[in-house]
Structure 1
Amino acid sequence: MANRSGNVKRLLVVGGGLIGIRHVHAVKQNPNCTLVGLADPDTSIEIDAKRFASMDDVNEEVDGVIIATPTHLHATHGVSAASRGWHMLIEKPVAESLEEAETLKNAVSNAGIHTLVGHHRRYHQTLQRLKSHIEQGAIGKLVNVSLIWAMRKPDSYFEGNWRTSGGSPVMINLVHDIDVLRFAIGEISEVVALRGASVRGANRIESGAVAIAFDNGATGTISFADTTPSPWGFEAGIGENPNIGTTHQDMMWITGTEGAISFPSLNLWNGRDWGTAAQKEQLPKPVQKRTPLEAQLDHFLEVIDGAPPLIDVSDAARTLAVATTIEAALKEQVTHIQARA
């Protein structure tokens, strides 16, 4: 249990957007912590909590801070929190750039701050069970993995805002799948990316394919698009996002020298060679007693007390490095695609 000392942790939430408000509610419902308040300059946010215009205005004792501001502010707010001695849970991606992530990493290290990064999918019991099966050799030595994330975002998602040209699904969506692969499959050593043609007509990354090499010798592919309706994607398969229709369809398939397994169904396929049909076994699926966000908060309270974090700033920076490498490779292909049009 969190708060092994018996003290109720005092938490501040910074950022009153959709995810920030979810954090506020989670803190208020958790008996092991209390909400100091919400720091956000937008006074129109209606919520039953003490309000601060910024972290600088907070003059109360704080044990930990949850930073849920826009990505480009993560490093600045994280450095400020570290200077005040506040342990932090910072939303993902950990920073906008690798340089900012390095600055944040140095700040928390110098201040002796405990950190946790909000890659909340790591708290899905089904994903943890997949990781366990792989580590226990259920499919032998890993050979390859295929992952699909394909959704059609509504046109309104891009109207009248920064997403019209800069709303790449790599940094908004694919960064989460990259972290899933790092968590369940292994460290990524190399990526090669190809960009798909534009469907909406904007100068924006919409779709593509990524080839991946892992440190353990396995290879993989990611196919992604935010322009096509499909049943395949982590959110649709797991049913974690109320804004995305749940299909319970698999979206990741992993093969090894002794079998294969699909996710999130946890269907295990055993076989010997192509002369014999592989046999399917339904592995038991764990019960998700706490939502990932609730489980993450429980863990953050433990991290404040000194428990090892499931993913800290340094770990999350490696996920960011892969995502930014893919993003840069796809951006370089803009002129080539336009020239062939």
Structure 2
Amino acid sequence: MKRVLLVGAGEVGAKHLTALGGAPGLVVVGVADPDPHIELPSDIPLFASWRAALGAVTPDLVVVASPPGTALAAARDAAQAGAIGLVEKPGTTDPAALMPRPDDGRIFVAFQPHFAPGLDVLLVERPVVVKAEVLLAVRRDPGYFRGWRRTYAAAGGVLHQQAIHGLALALRLLPGDIEAVEAEVVHRRGLVETEDHVTATITLSGGATVHVNARVDHPGPPVHELVLHLADGRRLEVRGRNLEAGLGEPAAAPTHEKLRHAMYAAVLDAADRRPTHPCLFSLTALRRPLEVIDRVYRDAHVVRAAHTAAA
């Protein structure tokens, strides 16, 4: 059995704790959080800091589900201690923080929707994509943006926290440098520093484009999808509430718990020097999506509409 330390006992940590409890070959030996927001099983020790936990339980795998302000430091400490680190997105909002360090090869970013059906083959075959469309439409009310989510510096914006799964997948399939960005960011409801809606067209060298339409004030059913337009005229749709159907039918989509199980297994394979799963997302590879997101926000036209009581 591989020993797992969970860093972060909030909303995301609770999802990992449930998934880890049902994952074959894994046992949770500790949780690190100075202020846990979930009730922990009585047989799992709670530590006030990840550094204390690393020394006490010597884990094989450290799953980091803490906010971006601390996630990268926790993962790097875990890697330095000899464990494999698995970081919940986005890990950090600062691309400059991802300048390579000696142990960064032991850290992966937790993009579980990238393990959806068919995406492993897609990432191996790498079809020529000429245009990608990222659609995100969810409802996040003002109460959601509290605590660490209140400031851009601590949490980033809609692209960091909500649309990064689809955007990062598109960028994995589209090489090239950023040549131009046209973007608009709309603040309508006064969600502290977070926008309601962001649209962007990103042109890459070679002429390929990424179109983003991401909003958190959507009144209908939530959706996060990616449409890929191929050079041969075909169109591929990565569908689901959060891409979880992959290239398959939404009705047959695996649960997020099953996707996390696949992700844990892939990371442990990498730790044991078995062939790297194509859906694994390395810490180093995260830098490019964050640089693109940074550029979108930097170049965007910002609209601040009057707040409405109905919102």
TM bin (shorter chain): 0.7 to 0.9
Q: Rate the CA distance shift 1:37–1:196 in 2: closer, same or farther, 3 A.
A: closer
Measure the CA separation in 2 of the matches of 1:61 and 1:14. 13
| 1:291 counterpart SS class | helix
Aligned pair count?
A: 285
**TM-score when scaled to structure 2?**
0.78
From 62, 65, 68, the equivalent of 2:59 is: 62
Q: How much does 1:15 deviate? A: 0.8
Residue equivalent to 2:109: 117
How far the C-alpha of 1:206 sits from its partner, in A, is 2.3
Q: Which residue of 1 aligns with 2:31?
A: 38
Is 1:53 matched up with 2:23? no
1:258 pairs with 2:232: yes
Aligned residue for 1:212?
A: 202
Check 1:96–1:146 CA distance in 2 against 1; reply closer, same or farther (3 A cut): closer
Q: Distance in 2 between matches of 1:82 and 1:55?
A: 12
Which of these residues, 21, 26, 32, is aligned with residue 19 of structure 2? 26
Identity of aligned residues (%): 23
Which is higher, the Rg of structure 1 or of structure 2?
Answer: 1
- The 2-side partners of 1:62 and 1:265 are apart by 35
Aligned equivalent of 1:317, options 270, 274, 287: 287
Q: Tell me the residue number matched to 1:189.
A: 177
CA gap of 1:30–1:164, structure 2 versus 1, over 3 A, is closer
Q: 1:287 to 1:230 in 2, by over 3 A?
A: closer
> Following TM superposition, by how much is the alpha carbon of 1:44 offset from its aligned partner in structure 2, in angstroms?
6.0
Q: Counterpart of 1:200?
A: 189
SS of the residue 2:163 aligns to:
helix
Residue-by-residue CA offset, 1:138-172 (whole Å, 9 max, x unaligned): xxx533233322233224324x5565664721221
Query: Which of 73, 76, 85 is residue 73 of structure 2 equivalent to?
Result: 76
Task: Assess, with a 3 A threshold, how the Cα gap between structure 1 residues 217 and 17 changes in structure 2: closer, same or farther.
Answer: same
User: Any stretches of 5+ residues in structure 2 without a counterpart?
Assistant: 241-246, 306-311
**How far has the Cα of 1:205 moved from its partner?**
2.6
Assess if the C-alpha contact under 8 Å between 1:117 and 1:313 holds in 2: yes
Determine which of 143, 151, 160 is the counterpart of 1:156.
Answer: 143
SS at match of 1:95: coil
Shift of 1:264: 3.6
The residue number in structure 2 matching 1:237 is none
1:170 aligns with 2:159: yes
Alignment-mate amino acid for residue 228 of structure 2: I
Q: 1:302 aligns with which of 265, 269, 272?
A: 269
Q: Which runs of 5+ in 1 are unaligned?
A: 1-7, 136-140, 235-250, 267-282
The match for 1:221 is 211
Q: Deviations over 1:201-225 (max 9, x none)?
A: 5664322321123456422311222
Q: 1:216 to 1:126 in 2, by over 3 A?
A: farther
Q: TM-score, normalised by structure 1?
A: 0.72
Q: 2:76·2:85 contact (CA, 8 Å) conserved in 1?
A: no
SS at match of 1:125: coil
Partner amino acid, structure 2, of 1:169 = V
RMSD: 3.1
1:121-140 paired onto structure 2 within 5 Å = 121-128=113-120, 135=127
SS for the counterpart of 2:234 is: strand
- How far apart, in 2, do the equivalents of 1:129 and 1:149 lie? 24
Structure 1 residue aligned with 2:131: 144
Corresponding letter in the other structure for 2:196: E
Q: 2:30·2:45 contact (CA, 8 Å) conserved in 1?
A: yes
Q: What is the alpha-carbon distance in structure 2 between the residues aligned to residue 44 and residue 174 of structure 1?
A: 25
- How has the CA–CA distance of structure 1 residues 324 and 57 changed in structure 2, closer, same or farther, with 3 Å as cutoff? same
Letter in 1 for 2:175: E
Change (3 A) 1:214 1:62: same
Which residue of 2 is the match for residue 273 of structure 1? none
The amino acid that maps onto 1:198 is H
- 2:71 & 2:268 partners in 1: Cα distance? 20
